[in-house]
Structure 1
Amino acid sequence: MKSYKKIENIVRGFSNHRRIQILELLEKTPELSVAEITEKLKINYNTASDHIRRLSIAGLVAKRNSDRDVRHKLTDRGRAILTFCKTLE
């Protein structure tokens, strides 16, 4: 089993309803920029950027630099966490 601190960091990464929404959005539409995420969820750019940063730190979202912006997609861990969250509904 992973260390308790590492598990805590992962859980903190998705312990917000907006972050779970972002995970769901990236599952349906991978490779989105922060601007596209803010547009689809109708949230503030800085707020979305902070949520994505936290998801990335937790290893739930991967970032890829494209020509003009940064693209985001779920990692395997992110998909597993989203599957787990759906079992709680």
Structure 2
Amino acid sequence: MPLYAITMLAAGIGIPVLAAMNAALGRSLGAPMLAGVVLIAVGLLTASLVAITQGPSALVKLATAPKHLFFAGVLLAFYVLSITAIAPKFGVGNAIFFV
């Protein structure tokens, strides 16, 4: 149980760090949406590598999973793209506060 708490604390700390880093990448590239795409692509690669280590059993069940649950990916993209575009203009602290 303490490992869960520590993991979630680290995830919570990571949210404003993620927002600040991706906003900076968006400014550096001059294209916040591209920074969001890069963030999601790196996240996909990382999550895929972790999933591969878990074995193929879940992949088999993917075709039968309820399709409406895939909408979570749309919500993730909305969060990443909106925070990346808005944080540089609104401030990372303000953006995270309103989230």
TM-score of the superposition, structure 1-length normalised?
0.31
Higher alpha-carbon Rg = 2
Larger proportion of strand: 1
TM-score of the superposition, structure 2-length normalised?
0.28
